Amino acid sequence: MADSTRHYFFVAKNTKTKTGYTIEFPTIPNLFASGVTYLEAVYYSYRVLSDFLKQLPHDEAALAAYTLSSIPDNKENTFYTIVSVPGDFDPHQMQTTFTIAQNLPEEIRRQADKLSHLVEYHKPVAL
């Protein structure tokens, strides 16, 4: 198993749907999680990512093939985050970082405002 002080980074595609959220990993085909609230979807995404990584061969090349390579542009009701995964793949130690492009302060505020309206932590969402 990998060293727990090492971290790997994965792109997560987050989509707000009529019934909640879906989180996919563009670099890992067919790996996704969903939940009614954003926190629920994040929790399940950490679990499926951990399970996937634990079944890979124990070498850096196999793991590196799935790590962060690029972040696509956001689309309607979709935003991207970066998931930091410790070397031991513990889902309880994973962290998500929202991505906002470097820009003028007004544009950063606009992007942050749009993101804040897409993320609901505690109640079901409606589009």
- List pLDDT tens digits, range 36-71: 999 999 999 999 999 999 999 888 888 888 998 877
State phi, psi for 108 to the nearest 5 degrees. Answer: -60, -45
Residue ranges covered by each domain of the chain: 7-118
CATH assignment, 7-118: 3.30.160.250
Share of the chain above pLDDT 90, in %: 56
Residue length of the chain: 127
How much is the average pLDDT of 68-75? Answer: 79
Q: How would residue 123 be classed by pLDDT, with cut points 50, 70 and 90?
A: low
Q: How would residue 1 be classed by pLDDT, with cut points 50, 70 and 90?
A: very low
Q: What is the pLDDT of residue 19?
A: 92
pLDDT tops 80 at residue 17: yes
Q: How would residue 92 be classed by pLDDT, with cut points 50, 70 and 90?
A: very high
Please give the C-alpha separations between residue 28 and each of 7, 11, 79, 117, in angstroms, as whole numbers.
Answer: 17, 9, 17, 27
Q: What is the pLDDT of residue 22?
A: 97
Q: How would residue 4 be classed by pLDDT, with cut points 50, 70 and 90?
A: low
In sequence order, which residues have a C-beta less than 8 Å from that of residue 20 and are 6 or more positions away? Answer: 34, 35, 36, 37, 40, 41, 124, 125
Q: How many helices (H) and strands (E) does the chain have?
A: 3, 5
With beta carbons less than 8 A apart as the criterion, state whether 119 and 38 touch.
yes
At which residue do the structure tokens 């962290």 appear? Answer: 95
Q: What is the pLDDT of residue 71?
A: 79
